A and B are shown apart, each in its own frame.
Chain A
Amino acid sequence: MHSFQDLILTLSQYWTAQGCVLQQPYDLEVGAGTMHPETFLRVLGPEPWNVVYVQPSRRPADARYGENPFRLGKHYQLQVLLKPSPAGVQALYVQSLEAMGIDLSLHDLRFEEDNWEAPTLGAWGVGWQVMLDGMEITQFTYFQQAGGLALDPVSAEITYGLERITMFLGRKRSLYEIDWVPGGVTYGQVRHQDEVEFSRYYFELADVEFLRTQFDGNEREAVRCLEAELALPAYECALKCSHLFNVLDARGAVSVTERVGLIKRVRRLSVACAKVYVARREDLGYPLLAAEPAERGHSAEPGRPGEPGEPGVEIT
């Protein structure tokens, strides 16, 4: 199974079978799957949440006119969020690789320290980059803080870099040679023009004044929404600011001192959104707490076989 779409299908199927809600990409430009409200807002507060979705993620500064075989201005992440992080989450992840057809008895799988921090989100976590035969295939993070708030329960976030994994499993020399459809349409045929045109836009064409106006406008709008205690609309405006900042930065329009200031402004918004969201969920009586099955025992977490002291296939 070495096609892009098969990978999406397999992972979505695997994680929905583990009880995840199958969500869809957020319909805005975001830099990573983490910024989707299904992760950034859901990790807050006491309510449980398990979700899987694909998120096209934009990194304007990484755009390369479709010429670099390893870099993209937009790539696809498959994001899994498990809240609270189950005791057997690492084992669940390992099984997802087996579901992808990787026979781990023949490969070298290692978890190397890689902590994650997002200053614009007031968020950080600890975890690993997961290396398969020397290739980074996944970011695995235990969320510790988001929107400046300490998290309890803690969520586990698993982010698969879809292009890299497909490229690696198919031993392709370039991202653009990946099969999107098995033996059919390639990644390049689907996306190359997108990369070329957006590279030109980000680096040459984007109207700096227009972007700045948009940034200011969205910031004002976010503040108005926050005053009305509308967490989700406010957060959307914050996301727009974040993307606008990234485009301005790629365009070379952000000076050294301005950069720090803009990051602070976005951070302020996301921190405020987090606060309002938490308050709103409390007002609503944490509806998802009621839906939660009875408190699960330590050994009864999904996918965690065996009894305590009998490790089974659990990752230890």
Chain B
Amino acid sequence: MPRGEFLLEVRCEEIPARMVRRATQDLGSRIFQELLNRKLTPREIETGFTPRRLAVALKGIPGREQDRTEEIVGPPASIAFDDHGKPTKAGEGFARRCGIEARDLERVKTPKGEYAAAVVTTEGRPTLEVLSELVPKAIAELNWAKVMTWGRGVGPWARPVHGIVAVFEGEIVPFELFGIQSGATTCGHPVLSPKAFQVAGFTSYRKKLGKLGIEVNFEERLSKLEVGLSDAAAELGGIVVDDQPLLERLTAMCGTPGVVVGKIDEKHLELPREVLIASLRDHQSAFTVEREGELLPAFLTLMDRADDPEGFVRRGNEWVVEARLEDAAFFFGEDRKKTLAEHAAGLGRLSFHEKLGSYADKTERIVELCKFICRLLDWDDEAQTAAEVARLMKGDLVSEMVREFTSLQGIMGGVYARAEGLDEEVWRSIYEQYMPQGTTDSIASTRVGRVVGLADRIDSVVGVLGIGLTPSGSKDPFGVRRAAQGVVRIALEGEMELDLDLVAARAYKQYGDRLEESAEEVLAIWRPFLFDRIRHILGLEDFSYDEIEAALEVGATNLPDLRARVAAIHTVRDEPGFRSVVLAAKRIANILKGVPEQELRADLLSEPAEKLLYQSYQKLKDEIKKAEHEKRYEECLRTMTSFADVLDHFFVEVLVMDENPDVRNNRVALLQAIQRSLSRTAGLTAVVVERADATEGKQGNG
């Protein structure tokens, strides 16, 4: 019985793989935090789990809480004590309330005079007692993605609980939860090793379970399974087709990571690779094995036991896989009886969204939006192919195969188009329509694929926002954020020089009267989502926050152009003078805040510094305009930088807020004109620079 160690195990019915890992960590840190709050800080924490048990071990916990001494100040001494220094009735009452003898009352000096005081010592409670109070709460209050009740309304928890081990320094921490009394007894696998046994500490707990073949440590189990899988693959002369999410899911689904090796009938290798992999993964949670890129007629999967003495597990899995692949072959054959175009003709029966119409309606909208996008981009060569792809791209949604394996949407359409002998550009664009899915995979490899992917996503986002289904917090059931991210990545990495606002507006118009929000409202909601994704994605490219903000202030939704602006600021910001022009721009913005537009009259300029500024501005204006037009943004910024000295000189020599209103307004007008030029490339005022007091002139806030 290790000193200071607390072992907790909650045994229950099988907790879903997607929840159990986080819940265990959560349980551990809740108890840790509660102990910390009571100054019973554990030195070490370890957690482990299987589908049927959550285990937490906390080590190095002090045996009891520290005693607490506090001084309670009572009535003034003159009231609490009589002339002889004996406690009065009031003094006795105070002592009683504090739980001490009246003769133990003390006197303390305070700024307000002398007072009676009671020094009260609260004895710290034994840790065992503290644990028996806080642990059941921590278990009951775990956050689950989904909870249930059982029996006569017991719960809620993820699944019914059957046993609790709670042992501190070898002694049972007593409590009751869900009708279960905590104890020191657990058991192994319910069928293979059901015999109950006693546990005293985490080490013996792990050891005893280990003897039964049960490993509670997730990482240990994962690496065992990984080794088991790759050994099995090597024996077959191949390697495992990598699938980390599947590996983690399987690890969370067992206590004993056994590997099943099964054979596949050679004839099924005629099925497309994608179908084989998806069928094995989605239906059988099984890995495929490949050699030099070719799948081998075998699969690997998990069993929650160490061995398969009679081969039942292998044969069972093989039988199911065979049935599944027969099924897949049947679906494939059925689907191939129709062309993809014929499948697409049935999209009228598949709802995209109750209010947004069917997939046939969506297809029509995507076709038109593709044409529009190609026109904006001057991609004449792609326009026709994009429209052709758009007509076919959703066809696989009504195929048998995609109904069975939703993960194959798009891919199946591509496979069928390829099998029909359509052009590579066409089938590839269909195949890759859902790319990218995240931040690390690539975008579609063809221009057409990018056009249709962009059109599809913008159509969805505008539609979903248009019927008021704006995502909030972690709730995004229609994947608006992911779609927006796809839009940003496709436009950026696909170098699609077009104004996304125009595309969104067009997408809105195509919905006719289906949408409930106004076009302005939809654009107003759409932009923050887009900008949010732009910030995220450009942030990944090592641009800093203020560089991105500055470019966003120009408001452009032409993303490659936006990116060029960000890059220009990134390059120029450390060049000499840039800081000054940013500060000048900020000062101008300050002066002009809330000032109405004024007319600039050259003849009213009198002071040399302002005349000089005006002349420089004339030159600057044209240079910036020209460079902007040619998208030479670094040059724009450098031109502005060269202007900093003249501006600084002006602010030192000239008072904008002249007493004569005509002079004042004219100077304001000059600054307004300059502000327009300086704001063309990026919002300079958003760039973060250190302030230097030396350049602060005599200008106040206008």
Contact = CB atoms under 8 A, between A and B. Distances in A.
A184 interface: no
A108 B149 contact: no
A131 to B, nearest CB: 9
B186 A84 contact: no
Interface in B119-163: 146, 148-153, 159-160, 162-163
Interface string A149-179: 0001110100000000000100100000000
Contact of A144 (B148, B320, B323, B350): B148
Interface stretch (A37-45, A85-93, A199-207, A219-227): A85-93
Contacts of B191: 94, 104-105, 109, 313
Given A84-B151, A85-B151, A134-B284, A309 B181 contact: yes
A277 B14 CA distance: 34
A293 interface: no
Given A107-B312, A311-B163, A259 B351 contact: yes
B316 A168 contact: yes
B327 A94 contact: no
A134 B354 contact: no
Interface string B336-350: 000000000000111
A106 B303 CA distance: 11
Interface of A: 68-70, 84-87, 90-91, 94, 104-113, 115, 125-126, 128, 132-135, 142, 144, 152-154, 156, 168, 171, 252, 255-257, 259-260, 298, 306, 308-316
A314 B301 contact: no
Nearest to B346: A252
Given A257-B354, A311-B163, A70 B323 contact: yes
Given A142-B148, A152-B152, A316-B162, A311 B320 contact: no
Interface residues of B, number: 65
A316 B190 contact: yes
A315 B15 CA distance: 13
Contacts of A110: 14, 51, 253-254, 304
Contacts of B187: 311, 316
Interface in B339-372: 348-351, 354, 357-358
Contacts of A113: 14, 16-18
Interface majority SS (helix, strand, loop, mixed), chain B: mixed
Contacts of B184: 309
Contacts of A109: 191, 304
A152 B149 contact: yes
A69 B53 contact: no
A91 B151 CA distance: 15
A171 B151 CA distance: 37
A152 B153 contact: yes
A105 B179 CA distance: 30
Contacts of B151: 84-87, 153-154
Given A109-B191, A128-B14, A309-B163, A134 B186 contact: no
Nearest to B357: A256
A154 B304 contact: no
A87 B357 CA distance: 48
A195 to B, nearest CB: 16
A259 B326 CA distance: 32
A248 to B, nearest CB: 13
Interface in B572-599: none
B178 to A, nearest CB: 10
Contacts of A306: 196
A126 B51 CA distance: 16
A134 B149 contact: no
9 contacts: A87-B151, A107-B312, A110-B254, A113-B16, A115-B146, A134-B260, A142-B160, A153-B151, A256-B350
Interface in B257-306: 258, 260, 284, 301, 303-305
A154 B148 contact: yes
A257 B358 CA distance: 9
B192 interface: yes
Q: Which residue, of A86, A94, A125, A152, has the highest number of chain B Cβ atoms within 10 A?
A: A152
B300 to A, nearest CB: 12
B478 to A, nearest CB: 16
A106 B190 contact: no
Contacts of B301: 134
B51 A106 contact: no
Contacts of A90: 13, 190
A308 B181 contact: yes
Nearest to A94: B191
Given A108-B305, A257-B351, A308-B181, 20 more contacts: A86-B151, A94-B190, A105-B192, A108-B260, A133-B315, A135-B316, A144-B148, A154-B149, A154-B150, A171-B319, A255-B349, A257-B354, A260-B351, A298-B180, A309-B163, A309-B183, A310-B185, A312-B196, A315-B190, A316-B52
B285 to A, nearest CB: 8
A113 to B, nearest CB: 4
A315 B350 CA distance: 43
A312 B185 contact: no
A310 B196 contact: yes
Contacts of A84: 151-152
A256 to B, nearest CB: 4
Contact of A112 (B253, B305, B312): B253
Contacts of A104: 191
A311 B181 contact: no
B163 A154 contact: no
Contacts of B18: 113
Given A94-B190, A113-B17, A144-B148, A316 B53 contact: yes
Interface string B311-325: 011011101110100
Contacts of B303: 108, 133
A101 B312 CA distance: 14
Nearest to B327: A70
B520 interface: no
Nearest to B51: A111
A256 B350 CA distance: 6
B349 A313 contact: no
A259 B52 CA distance: 41
A71 to B, nearest CB: 8
B194 interface: yes
A257 B148 CA distance: 33
Contacts of A134: 260, 284, 301, 313, 316-317, 320-321
B661 interface: no
B350 A311 contact: no
B309 interface: yes
B541 interface: no
A298 B153 CA distance: 13
B253 A316 contact: no
Contacts of B327: 68, 70
Nearest to A295: B152
Interface in B51-101: 51-53
Nearest to B330: A68
Nearest to A313: B194
B381 interface: no
B377 interface: no
B310 interface: yes
Nearest to B360: A256
A111 B14 CA distance: 6
A111 B350 CA distance: 33
A142 B149 CA distance: 8
A109 B13 CA distance: 13
A314 B309 CA distance: 24
A313 B190 contact: yes
A260 B354 contact: yes
B12 interface: yes
A149 to B, nearest CB: 14
Contacts of A142: 148-150, 160
A135 B17 CA distance: 18
Nearest to A133: B316
A133 B317 contact: yes
Contacts of A313: 190-191, 194
B150 A108 contact: no
A256 B358 contact: yes
